[in-house]
Amino acid sequence: MKTALLDHGYVKLVEWWGGDERIVEAARMSTAKGFQGWGPIHDKACNSVVMACDCYSDDCTKCSHYPALPNYAELIACNCTPTSGDEKLLAYLWHNHHATPFEMAGMTIEVQAPIFVFREWHRHRTQSYNELSARYTPLPDLNYVPTVERLMINAGGTNKQAGTVAGAETLSEDWANVFRQKLQREYDMCEGLYQDALSAGVPKELARLIVPVGRYSRMRASANLRNWLAFLTLRMAPNAQWEIRQYASAVGEMIAAKFPRAWELFAAAK
């Protein structure tokens, strides 16, 4: 599972462990009951099923209309809330902030992002990180150039955290294009000096001094589910910087795929 981001970035799922069931099992250690099972996919009041047929079976596979419904797979994926099963306990844990069972699942991802994104990401000290080191290997010549649309997002000054300096003019699309061109020239100049320094025998750990924070780096990040969701709470928020929000959204999609019931609770609370 891999998602391309920005102009050269990505998030890739490396591995994941546990699952919604493991969260329930951890919570039930005190009673030694373990995971009992999820409830029915839908209840009798599900309008999607009633619209398709008039039966009210608790088990759709026993419905006399079942073999004749070509879209049956879609019908059982309806949006009603199950009324029984361990999803009730999972919801109780989430809504009452019993967070430790959510530490029994997690995932490791690989990320390629501009260095300034990593500087924000690494503030989340509950994750484990290992990043590509320019002390040991030259960084790839990949640099982030924001689009004109990205540069113009806050041209009206709606986000104070992304505001301009006092007395600055309102950014125009023409100047946004000028900035992009000049930024690329500076990237090219920095890369030229970087490569010249490496060729001249400057140690890699010092040649990297010219590398800007717009340069792409790579890392692996690992955390349990509780701390991934805490990361997303901050980094998917509207006042987070746009670039890291893109990465957070991609992480959220991976969590939704691997821990769908926990994700549903998280998303409903946002």
Catalytic-residue membership of 235: yes
In Å, how far are 56, 251, 264 from 257, measured between CA atoms?
30, 10, 11
Identified catalytic residue from 22, 215, 218, 235: 235
Write the DSSP assignment of 136-199 as a string of letters.
Answer: TSPPPS-B----HHHHTTTTT---GGGPPPTTPPPP-HHHHHHHHHHHHHHHHHHHHHHHHHHH
* Distance in angstroms (rounded) separating the CA atoms of residues 255 and 238: 20
Contact 3, 10 (CB under 8 A): yes
Q: Give the CA angle between residues 238, 99, 124 to the nearest 5°.
A: 45
* Distance in angstroms (rounded) separating the CA atoms of residues 151 and 258: 34
Catalytic center residues: 235
